[in-house]
Amino acid sequence: LGGVNTAGYDFSVSTDGSFSGTGIDPPVSQYTHFSIQGVNLYRIPWQLMTPTLGGPIDEPFFARYNATVQAALVSSANAYVIADVHNYARWNGGIIGQGGPTNDQFINFWSQVAAKYAKNDRIIFGIMNEPHDMNSVPDWVDTVQAAVNAIRAAGAVSQYILMPGCSWSGAQALPTEAGPLLVNVTDPAGGTSKLLFDVHKYLDSDGSGTQADCVTNNIDVLTTLVEFLQSNGNRQAILSETGGGSTASCETNLNQELAYVKANSDTLIGFAIWAAGSFDTSYILSVTPKSDGTDQSLWSQAGK
């Protein structure tokens, strides 16, 4: 799987889980644009689905979100969509299952979303974007298990589920932090082949994905991750966020990173570049197509 994040519905969310707004719909024309080039993975984040904790889905918002999901799915016969809740394991500063929203409130939300997509095998459920600064890693793993159980109980029994660790889903942290506990999460549908690890890794100097230049190809980090996954039952992961600026250093380093991912596709089964969607072309990591329909240089070179 190879593709792109199409951001927009997550706009205005802060890393403490607070938000002020309803997001911006990603341009659906982008899905055809990218799918023609061979893209088969779209990650579509959002930050607001149940405005009241433990309450019902906001149906007008879901209608907007689902229209975008369907545009991505119909853009290619083999396109997958990662439905990604982008709240950093928080709600207005409180950590899910650790003094903030309860696990019951969290799984109520996931039960509703999973029921909406229970019959669509090309939806991948991204449990949570970038949990960070958790009070307890074991408690977070318990929350992940509760979400997996809720998704399956809602009738979504065949879809892939992405399990994030802590430390901003950092690929470098998973083998020694949450990974040794997440490998014990069970799937009520049977086996573990549909439970994938969700990792992120940028290429700039501090790994934040906020700078135009790249200083690493991340192969050392990804090699350690692959070794961990293979030694724990040949498990698999998706690199659901990576990327850089349209600079020569990023074109070189991202190319090398993605070549490694492709060479190890039995373990690292996909990647998604950050980001297109509602980002304009001035965003430092933008891969949004230009107004004349041509691509950013980073995207043109990615994976070549």
Placement of tokens 């990173």 in the chain: 257
CA 68 to chain centre: 16
Phi and psi (nearest 5°) for 61? -65, -45
How far is 212 from 283, CA to CA, in rounded Å? Answer: 10
Nearby residues of 25 by Cβ (< 8 Å), 6 or more positions away: 8, 9, 64, 67, 68, 278
**Strand 90-91, strand 94-95: pairing:** antiparallel
How far is 249 from 132, CA to CA, in rounded Å? Answer: 28
How far is 219 from 204, CA to CA, in rounded Å? Answer: 14
**How many other CB atoms are found less than 10 A from the CB of residue 21?**
11
59 as an active site residue: the answer is no
For 282-300, b/e burial (b = at least 16 CB within 10 A) is ebbbbbbbeeeeebbebbe
The answer to whether 50 and 58 are in contact (CB under 8 A) is: yes
Catalytic residue (choose from 59, 177, 227, 241): 241
Catalytic residue (choose from 59, 130, 177, 257): 130
The answer to whether 185 and 141 are in contact (CB under 8 A) is: yes
Q: Residue 270 is encoded by which pair of tokens?
A: 């996909």
Q: Tell me the C-alpha to C-alpha distance, in Å, between residue 184 and each of 65, 90, 107, 124, 267.
A: 32, 23, 19, 20, 18
DSSP 192: S
241 as an active site residue: the answer is yes
Q: Residue 240 is encoded by which pair of tokens?
A: 């659901």
The catalytic site residues sit at 130, 241
